[in-house]
Structure 1
Amino acid sequence: MNLRSTLIALALVLTGATVATASGTASARIRTVTGPDAPRALPEQGPVSVTWDDPANFTEIRYSLNKFESRRGDWVEQLAQHLRERAEKRLPPGEQLLVNITDIDRAGAYEPWRGVQFYDTRFILDIYPPRMTFNYRRIGAGGDVLAEGEREIRDMGYLMTANPYFNSDTLRYEKAMIDRWISQELPRPGT
């Protein structure tokens, strides 16, 4: 294969297409949060249950100026797992927390007008704060509902507050926002 054929094959593989090559067939799929095989809930385990609506309807994807990059990866599942892990640590014994995520808008945005070289760059600016909307129900050890409702959390000052996560964590702003909600909703005993 010459260089041109190799580059074309690579581009097709990166977009999820099947490529016939001289040595056989190459196939690769990029995982997306909107894929037909993408989960819509975390596996049932422990006292915290997290589900989510179709991410194709999330603000992050609907209003993105780079829908391909916005769909890429498993960021919805990662945020759901983070929410579960943090809530489990603070939930009193015997209680349950049921969460259904209805919308996510990640920190930052794509700005294609900056040029082709920045097509897949997420610009983290204060005008693009992280937001999340979800319904939740907190159930006591006796089965009574302790709290429920819809919450829209956002972090308007996300660039000005301390963030405990590494800069390499692409979800650090969303995780810090979730942590703040959990610390308010599930305060430690005696605080």
Structure 2
Amino acid sequence: MKTFPIALISLALAAPVMSDTGSGAELELKWHDMEKFTDVRATNSTQSQFHDRVKREFEDIFQQLASQLPEGYSWQATITDIDLAGHVDYFVAGAGNPLRVVEDIHSPAITFTHVLTDKQGEVVVSKETKLRDMGFMHSLRPTNDDDAFRYEEQMLEDWFKKELEPKVSDYARVK
């Protein structure tokens, strides 16, 4: 009987966090000819299912980044290439079953164009960005991190903190 009030209080305290979806920039994410991307090869599903999964996961990553931008801003991005960490090997697991093997020499990379505009529609940043994390295997990550695209996510988060956030801060100071 005591668990119900505790659960109700916990839910009430968590509700503002769960409903806080209106903060940050509005994101419009597009994909340019995914069939020609360097490496988004499926291992345990069909290619179209894997492409859908990659799109969902990267949309979540970009949405998370957009939520850290000032409210009222608009961020339009078009992903033009992805090279996932690792490579697909058909012989390592035996029986010709594909498996993504992650090694230092197959680093993650992403190329995208993006335009960030402020509340008045003035351009804050507009450029093509090419990222590759050659040291992805040497970054400190939690040992229980089993996110399939953790290396790509970390690369984008690092870029965001080192490149985009400072430009947005500088722009806000000038304005």
Q: Kindly indicate whether residue 97 of structure 2 is the aligned counterpart of residue 119 of structure 1.
A: yes
Distance 1:157 1:69 in 2: 30
Asked if structure 2 preserves the Cα contact closer than 8 Å seen for 1:165 and 1:172, the reply is no
Closer, same or farther: CA 67–152 of 1 in aligned 2, 3 Å: farther
Name the residue aligned to 2:67: 88
Name the residue aligned to 1:21: none
When you count helix as a share of all residues, which structure comes out higher?
Answer: 2
Identical-residue share of aligned pairs (%) = 25
Q: Kindly indicate whether residue 120 of structure 2 is the aligned counterpart of residue 142 of structure 1.
A: yes
Distance 2:110 2:45 in 1: 21
SS at match of 2:139: coil
Distance 2:143 2:61 in 1: 12
Unaligned runs of 5+ in 1: 1-44
Name the residue aligned to 2:6: none
Asked if structure 1 preserves the Cα contact closer than 8 Å seen for 2:43 and 2:99, the reply is no
> Alignment RMSD, CA only?
2.8
| Number of equivalenced pairs | 143
Deviations 1:71-122 (CA, angstroms, capped at 9, x unpaired): 5431122112211212222x12322111100010100001234363463211
Q: Return structure 1 stretches of 4+ with deviation > 4 angstroms.
A: 64-72
Name the residue aligned to 1:168: 146
SS at match of 2:137: coil
**Offset at residue 128 of structure 1 (A):** 0.4
SS at match of 1:176: helix
Asked if structure 2 preserves the Cα contact closer than 8 Å seen for 1:49 and 1:84, the reply is no
1:55 partner amino acid:
M
Q: Which has the higher contact order (CA 8 A, sep 6+)?
A: 2
**The one of 148, 156, 164 aligned to 1:178:** 156
**The one of 129, 151, 155 aligned to 1:151:** 129
The TM-score, its normalising length taken from structure 2, stands at 0.70
1:54 partner amino acid:
D
Asked if structure 2 preserves the Cα contact closer than 8 Å seen for 1:112 and 1:119, the reply is yes
1:109 partner amino acid:
H
140-149 vs 72-81, which moves further? 72-81
Closer, same or farther: CA 115–81 of 1 in aligned 2, 3 Å: closer
Distance 2:103 2:47 in 1: 17
Asked if structure 2 preserves the Cα contact closer than 8 Å seen for 1:65 and 1:111, the reply is no
Distance 1:70 1:169 in 2: 19
Name the residue aligned to 2:54: 75
Closer, same or farther: CA 164–67 of 1 in aligned 2, 3 Å: closer
2:146 partner amino acid:
S
Unaligned runs of 5+ in 2: 1-23, 171-175
Closer, same or farther: CA 168–139 of 1 in aligned 2, 3 Å: same
